[in-house]
Amino acid sequence: MPEQNSYNKTEINELVAEIYIAIRTSDDYLSNRLDDVYNPFYNSIICADFLTTRLDALQHEMDMIQRQLDSQAEPSPSINRRTRPSIDSDFAALRSKPVTKKSLHDKLDEISFSQGFLKEDVYQEPKDIS
């Protein structure tokens, strides 16, 4: 502020405007502080609305991702969709038993028997066509 004994009307109006701006700014600040103290419930509602909206958006996104994963998943022959059948299931059962010459011969006979059925099916199919 200038140190003068006399001010003209324009300078006085500028000083008054600055004072009003300072008062208005401090009033707004104090008003907001008082609102936070006396109306904390209102602020928590605004925060809860934001969180609820965000939670809904995240839930929607999770549902969309789950639908994409479900559409990409191949059908499982297992009863339990989360457990895929293993091609090594017989191997685990055999592993618990000691391997003997007889068990190897039995397994070889089983494989040969299955191959015989497959050969019969392959040779019978052309006969059915003609």
pLDDT tens digits, residue range 108-123? 888 888 887 777 766 6
Question: Per residue of the chain (130 residues), what is the pLDDT tens digit?
Answer: 556 677 788 888 888 888 888 877 777 777 777 766 666 666 566 666 777 888 888 888 888 888 888 777 665 555 655 665 555 555 555 556 666 778 788 888 888 888 877 777 666 655 555 5
Sign of the CA dihedral running 33, 34, 40, 46: negative
- Whether this prediction's pTM lies above 0.75 is answered by no
Virtual torsion, Cα 19, 20, 23, 26, nearest 10 deg:
-100
Q: Let me know if residue 106 belongs to a domain.
A: yes
| C-beta separation of 85 from 78 below 8 A | yes
Q: Let me know if residue 38 belongs to a domain.
A: no
> Structurally, how many domains does the chain consist of?
1
Q: Let me know if residue 130 belongs to a domain.
A: yes
Q: Let me know if residue 94 belongs to a domain.
A: yes
Sign of the CA dihedral running 78, 79, 83, 88: negative
Q: Let me know if residue 126 belongs to a domain.
A: yes
| C-beta separation of 1 from 15 below 8 A | yes
Q: Let me know if residue 102 belongs to a domain.
A: yes
Length of the chain: 130
Q: Let me know if residue 13 belongs to a domain.
A: no
| C-beta separation of 23 from 31 below 8 A | no
pLDDT at 20: 84
| Domain range for 130 | 89-130
Q: Let me know if residue 52 belongs to a domain.
A: no
